[in-house]
Amino acid sequence: MNETRTGLLLFAHGARDPRWALPFEAVAEAARRAHPGQPVALAFLEFMSPGLDAAAESLVAAGCTQLDIVPLFLGAGGHVRKDVPPLLEAVRARHPAVEVRLHPAVGEQPAMIEAMARVALALQAGT
């Protein structure tokens, strides 16, 4: 019987400024703390490393048979709709036995929308 080992691959945009990665690294670390033992990787679309392919490779090397890719984007703009599908197909082609699932962008989730509104209101109240 084959047991599924699921890896969480958090996928962010990336930027030339290395400080851009800090909040995404914090999200990855929070996910690791919340689910010890579950493999979690962080990848960037451009300008930063690792890329999606390298992060996926690290999760497969850790024994993952399923990859849940969660875009840490505010919305499913051009990058998520146009740039991500060929990257996913490349991962699937390299690892045909691994199930690769793309989830919606976190910024489109009701819980995230509510959280951002609460933070914005709290910041306003504090000024």
Q: Where are the domains of the chain?
A: 6-126
Is the pLDDT confidence value at 21 over 80? yes
Q: Quick one: pLDDT at residue 62?
A: 97
pTM to 2 decimals? 0.92
Taking alpha carbons only, the member of 54, 74, 56, 78 closest to residue 65 is 56
Question: For 44-63, what is each residue's pLDDT tens digit?
Answer: 999 999 999 999 999 999 99
> From its phi and psi, is residue 14 left (phi > 0), alpha (psi between -120 and 50) or beta?
left
Is the pLDDT confidence value at 1 over 80? no
User: At the topology level of CATH, where does 6-126 sit?
Assistant: Rossmann fold (3.40.50)
Mean residue pLDDT across the chain: 93
